[in-house]
A and B are shown apart, each in its own frame.
Chain A
Amino acid sequence: MATFTYLEAVRQALWDEMENDERVFMLGQDIGTYGGAFRVTAGFLDRFGPGRIVDTPISESAMVGCAIGAAMMGMRPVVEMQFIDFISCAFNQIVNFAAPNHYRWGQQVPLVVRGPAGGNVHGSVYHSQNPESYFHHTPGLKIVAPGTVADAYGLLKAAIRDPNPVLYFEHKYLYRRLKDELPATGTSEGLVPLGKARLARAGRDLSVITWGAMLHVALEAAGRLEAEGIDLEVLDLRTLKPLDQEAILATVRKTSRVIVLSEEQVTGSVAGEVAARISQDAFAWLDGPVHRLCCPDTPVPYSPTLEEAYLPNVDKLVAKVRELSAY
C-alpha cells in the first residue's frame, strides 16, 4: 500500500477517473503548463493533452457555465477553482442553472466544481473561506468535504461519477499535512459513497459532529479528554448535502449530548441546520442544548493571533465539551 498526502489523493482520484473515462476533462486557471496553483494537476497536461486539460481565462462564471454545457452533452467536466472563495463569482451558474435543471426539465448535469477551501494558512479574507452554507440551501446540489486521505480519494471519484452537480471542497490546511495509506487505487477501487457519514471515533459520553479539517481537532480533543474520563464520539459527515440524517440521529441517541463543530461563520451555517434537525427529530434524547462550535460572524482575519481567535481549535472544543458534560 502506497502512502499519499491528502493533496496527492485528490490528484490520484482525478488521474484515475481521467484514465478510466474519456468523458472526464478539466477546466481551470493555470491547470495546464503550471499544473495548478497547488500543483494538483501537475503532469496532467503531458498525459492528457490540452484537449482535456483546458486552461481558461479568469472567468469563473464562464468556466462553470461552459462545464454545465459540456456536462449536459454527456461529458464529465471537473472545474478547478484556484481558491474556493472564487466560487462566488460562479454563483448564478451553479445555483440557477446547474442545480435546478434536473427538477425543471429533467436534464442531468454531471458536474464537479472543486477547489481548496478553509483557513489556518493565513490566507485572509479571500483565500480562506468555507462557502458550503451558501450552497447548502440550494436544491439539486450535492456538497462534499473530505477530512481524510481515503475520503479525499474516494469521494472525488464518486463525485465525478455522480449524475448530479457536486461541489467538492478540499481543505487546503490538510493538503500536505495529512498523509495516509490508500488501500488501493485504480478504476473501481476506493470509492466512497456520497451521502454517508463515517463514525471516526466511537464513544459514550458526547458526540462531536464535524467535517473537513475540524475532524482532526475533534480527534485530538478526544485523545486529550480520554485522560479526564470523557469518552467522545466523533461523526465525520463527509457529505454535507444530502445530510446523513440516520447517522446524525444515531449518534445523538447514543450519547445525548452534541456539539456540531465546523469552520463556518456560525449564523446560517450547515452546523446550524444539523443542530436544528437534532432539536426537531431527537429532542427527547437530549440531555443538554445542542451547541454549535463555529467561527464568529466576521470575515476570516489575516494575522495569526486574530485567526487563532477566530477558528475553533482543540482548547476551545475541550472547554466546550467540559461545559456541556457538566450541564
Chain B
Amino acid sequence: MAKLGKDWGPLHPPVAAAEATDKLAKTDLSRERQLELYSYMKLNRMVEERLGNLYRQGKVVGGLYSSRGQEATSVGSAYALAPQDVMGPLIRNLGAMLVRGVKPREVMMQYMAKSDSPTGGKDGNTHFGDLKRGLVAPISMLGALIPVMAGVALAGRMQGRDLVALTYIGDGGTSTGDFHEGLNLAAVLHVPFVLIAENNGWAYSTPTSRQMRIKNIAIRAAAYGIPGEIVDGNDVLAVYETTKRAVERARSGGGPTLIEAKTFRMKGHAEHDDAGYVPKEQFEEWRTKDPIDRFERHLLGKGLASEEELRAIVAKIDAQLNEEVDFALASPMPPPERALEGVYEPSEPWEVSS
C-alpha cells in the first residue's frame, strides 16, 4: 500500500498508476471467501456484458454505464460491510450492489425500464435503493450522496444501531461543493462513515489533472482531520482489507475515513462514448492490470483454485444470467397511468391532492 503522497507538484500525467504487479495484498480471508469475491467480480463483469448485448439489441431505453476495470473497487469495498451497514452506490458500483444482494434481473429491468423493475420504470440504471437491504439510491448530481450518507450514519448513531455508512465518489466528483461540505460535516460530527474515492483517471472526457492539482485525492483527508488511505483499486484484497480497517474504525467510534482507490475506467463514460480521447497506451497499460485477471492469477498461483473450478464458477454465472435475462425481458412495460402515481407518501388524516 502506498503512503500518502507529498507531491504537490504541477499538473501530472492523467494516469494514476497502480502498481503493475500480480502480488496482491495480504489477507486472512478463507479460500471460500476469496472465491466468493471472485464470483462477485465475475458476476459484475458478466452482468454488464449482458447489458451491453441488450443495449445493442435496442432493449435498453436510456444510457448504459460500465464499471469495467473497476470491479475490484466496488466488490472489495462492499464486501467489507456488515449486514446492518448502509451503502450508497454510484453509477459504476454495480458490483457493490450485487454484493449487497441486488439481483441481476433488477438492474436489467431498470435499464430496460420494465414494469417490474425496482422503480417500476420511473427511474433507470442503478438508480434505485432499498433501505431494507441497506441500499440508498444514487442521484446523478455527484457529491450529493456524501452528506446524505453522513446523515444515515448520524441517524444510526442516534438510534443506537451498530451501523456504518459507506458511499463512493469519482475523481471528478471530488470537485463538487458537496464533497467538501459533506466530508467536513461527517468529520465534525464524527459519524461512522467511509468514503471511497475511485480515481479512475477520467471524468467523462476530462482527465484527473484537469480536476485537481494534486496527485492523490487521499491527501484531502488531512484537511478534514480524518484518516486518508491510498489503495490499489485493482487489487480486490487490498480494497477489502483497507475498507475493512476503515469500517472497523468507524464502528468503534473512530469517525470517517477517506480511501482513494487508484483504478481505471476501461470504457467510455457511457456506452455511446468510444473514449477516443483516452490515449491508447493508457488502456493497454491498464489492461495488464485487469483486476479479475490479476485475481485469477493469484487464485491459481496460490493454489486456492484450479482452472476447472474457476470455469465452473463462470459457467454457473452464465446459466444464472440466462435466466435473469429471460425474466427481465418477459416483464412488461409499465402502464401509462403509473406516470402520475406516487409523488407523495399519503399523509393521513389530511392528505390533499393537488
Residue positions of A touching B, CB distance < 8 A: 25, 51-52, 54, 56-57, 59, 61-75, 77, 92-93, 96-97, 101-108, 139-140, 142, 158, 161-164, 193-196, 239, 241-245
State the CA gap A25–B140 with chains docked (Å): 28
Let me know if A92 and B345 touch, CB within 8 A: no
Let me know if A102 and B156 touch, CB within 8 A: no
Binary interface profile of B, 317-347, with partner A (CB < 8 Å = 1, else 0)?
A: 0000000000000000000000000111111
Residue B181 CB within 8 A of the other chain: yes
Q: Interface extent on B, as a size class?
A: 35 or more
State the CA gap A77–B184 with chains docked (Å): 20
Let me know if A102 and B342 touch, CB within 8 A: yes
A85 to chain B, nearest CB (A): 17
Let me know if A196 and B352 touch, CB within 8 A: yes
| Other-chain contact of B150, A69, A71, A101 (Cβ < 8 Å) | A69
| Other-chain contact of B345, A64, A68, A102 (Cβ < 8 Å) | A102
State the CA gap A239–B353 with chains docked (Å): 12
Let me know if A66 and B147 touch, CB within 8 A: yes
Chain B residues with CB under 8 Å of A139's CB are 343
| Other-chain contact of A57, B165, B185, B347 (Cβ < 8 Å) | B185
Contact A70 B139, CB 8 Å, known A51-B158, A93-B144: no
Considering the complex of A and B, which 3 residue pairs feature the smallest CB-CB distances, nearest first?
A: A69-B151, A195-B352, A65-B147
Q: A72-B151, A242-B352 are in contact. List 9 more A-B contacts (CB 8 A).
A: A62-B182, A62-B184, A65-B144, A97-B141, A97-B144, A105-B127, A163-B347, A193-B350, A241-B354
Chain A residues with CB under 8 Å of B127's CB are 104-105
The main secondary structure of chain A at its interface with chain B is mixed
State the CA gap A118–B344 with chains docked (Å): 27
| Other-chain contact of B131, A57, A107, A161, A241 (Cβ < 8 Å) | A107
| Other-chain contact of A104, B137, B188, B353 (Cβ < 8 Å) | B137
State the CA gap A61–B142 with chains docked (Å): 13
State the CA gap A63–B137 with chains docked (Å): 19
Contact A57 B137, CB 8 Å, known A97-B144, A242-B352: no
A107 to B, closest residue via Cβ: B129
Let me know if B178 and A61 touch, CB within 8 A: yes
Let me know if A25 and B158 touch, CB within 8 A: yes
Let me know if A96 and B139 touch, CB within 8 A: yes
| Other-chain contact of B154, A66, A93, A104, A239 (Cβ < 8 Å) | A66
B118 to A, closest residue via Cβ: A105
Let me know if B151 and A68 touch, CB within 8 A: yes
Let me know if A70 and B154 touch, CB within 8 A: yes
Chain B residues with CB under 8 Å of A59's CB are 147, 181-182, 184-185
State the CA gap A5–B153 with chains docked (Å): 37
Residue B13 CB within 8 A of the other chain: no
State the CA gap A75–B160 with chains docked (Å): 12
Let me know if B181 and A62 touch, CB within 8 A: yes
Chain B residues with CB under 8 Å of A69's CB are 136, 147-155, 165
Chain B residues with CB under 8 Å of A62's CB are 146-147, 150, 178, 181-182, 184-185
Chain B residues with CB under 8 Å of A243's CB are 354
Residue B30 CB within 8 A of the other chain: no
Chain A residues with CB under 8 Å of B347's CB are 161-164, 194
A291 to chain B, nearest CB (A): 24
Residue B123 CB within 8 A of the other chain: yes
Chain B residues with CB under 8 Å of A104's CB are 119, 122-123, 127-128, 137
Chain B residues with CB under 8 Å of A163's CB are 345-347
Let me know if B152 and A97 touch, CB within 8 A: no
Chain B residues with CB under 8 Å of A103's CB are 122, 342-343
Tell me which of B119, B148, B188, B349 has the highest count of chain A C-beta atoms within 10 A of its own C-beta.
B148
Tell me which of A25, A64, A101, A105 has the highest count of chain B C-beta atoms within 10 A of its own C-beta.
A105
| Other-chain contact of A68, B123, B148, B165, B177 (Cβ < 8 Å) | B148
Chain B residues with CB under 8 Å of A61's CB are 144, 147, 177-178, 181-182
Residue B281 CB within 8 A of the other chain: no
Chain A residues with CB under 8 Å of B140's CB are 96
State the CA gap A86–B158 with chains docked (Å): 27
State the CA gap A66–B352 with chains docked (Å): 28
Chain A residues with CB under 8 Å of B350's CB are 158, 193-196
Chain B residues with CB under 8 Å of A72's CB are 131, 136, 148, 151-152, 155
State the CA gap A75–B151 with chains docked (Å): 10
B135 to A, closest residue via Cβ: A105
State the CA gap A118–B268 with chains docked (Å): 48
Tell me which of A73, A96, A161, A196 has the highest count of chain B C-beta atoms within 10 A of its own C-beta.
A73
A142 to B, closest residue via Cβ: B344
State the CA gap A72–B136 with chains docked (Å): 9
Chain A residues with CB under 8 Å of B148's CB are 65-66, 68-69, 72, 93, 97
Chain B residues with CB under 8 Å of A97's CB are 139, 141, 144, 148
Let me know if A70 and B158 touch, CB within 8 A: yes
Let me know if A73 and B345 touch, CB within 8 A: no
A92 to chain B, nearest CB (A): 5
Residue B4 CB within 8 A of the other chain: no
| Other-chain contact of A106, B149, B188, B342 (Cβ < 8 Å) | B342
Contact A244 B158, CB 8 Å, known A56-B185, A61-B177: no
Chain A residues with CB under 8 Å of B351's CB are 195
Tell me which of A62, A75, A140, A163 has the highest count of chain B C-beta atoms within 10 A of its own C-beta.
A62
Residue B189 CB within 8 A of the other chain: yes
State the CA gap A97–B159 with chains docked (Å): 23
- Give the contacts of B160-179 with A (CB-CB under 8 A): 165, 177-178
State the CA gap A102–B155 with chains docked (Å): 19
State the CA gap A105–B131 with chains docked (Å): 10
Q: Can you report 9 A-B residue pairs in the complex whose CB atoms are below 8 A from each other?
A: A61-B147, A61-B182, A66-B185, A72-B151, A73-B156, A97-B139, A104-B137, A105-B122, A195-B351
State the CA gap A318–B347 with chains docked (Å): 39
State the CA gap A239–B351 with chains docked (Å): 12
B346 to chain A, nearest CB (A): 8
State the CA gap A139–B341 with chains docked (Å): 11
